[in-house]
Amino acid sequence: MTLFRLLLGIALLAAGRNLFWLFLGGTGFILGFDLAGRLVHGQPQGIMFFIAVVAGVACALLALFLQKLAIIVAGFIAGGYLLPALVKEFSVSNGHYHWLLFIVGGIVGALLMKVFFNWALIILSSVVGSNLIIEAVHFGPQLRKLFFVFLLLLGIVIQAGITQRKTSHRPR
């Protein structure tokens, strides 16, 4: 699972905006795997993997066929995944408020995606990609934070540059 998180993180960091279905499907898979670990604790890892695959495929199909709804769902899933992860990463205790953080992060992510789709997708996919990479690679706490910020900025620059090049090459 570590290698998958690393590869998905790199893909999202570099091309999350251009591969919306990968962003939504990959984020759905990771969220499904993490939730399955909490809900079916003690079950074989194959069950958790099956739940994650179903969640990932459902999200990818949603991105392909119901794009307007998928934009809001993508924002909700990404925001819901990110806020608790970032709170944990920056060593802030969330006690028993994990679900509340998930819902608040989800609502903020959905609103950002609805209002600022292109930039929200670039930033959210860069944040998710950066987080997946630092989860897969083990560093000390201070180096993790520095590496996270570096990867986040790198992802935004790469994706914004790709988006800028695409729009500047369009015939007028």
Q: Name the pTM for this structure.
A: 0.68
- Token match 């930039």: residue? 119
Q: Would you call 15 helix, strand, or coil by DSSP?
A: helix
| 172 occurs within a structural domain | no
How open is the CA angle 8-37-18, to the nearest 5 degrees? 20
Q: What percent of the chain has pLDDT over 90?
A: 6
Give residue 134's domain range: 2-167
- Write out pLDDT tens, residues 35-62: 888 788 777 888 888 888 898 888 888 7
Two structure tokens written together for 126: 């860069």
Instruction: Give me the number of domains the chain comprises.
Output: 1
| Alpha-carbon separation of residue 54 from 29, 97, 111, 116 (angstroms) | 8, 26, 25, 29
172 pLDDT above the threshold of 50? no
Q: Which 8-state DSSP code applies to residue 116?
A: S
Whether residue 84 contacts residue 102, with contact meaning beta carbons closer than 8 Å, is answered with yes
Gap between the Cα atoms of 122 and 128, Å rounded: 10
Q: Looking at the domain assignment, is residue 67 inside a domain?
A: yes
pLDDT of residue 150: 94
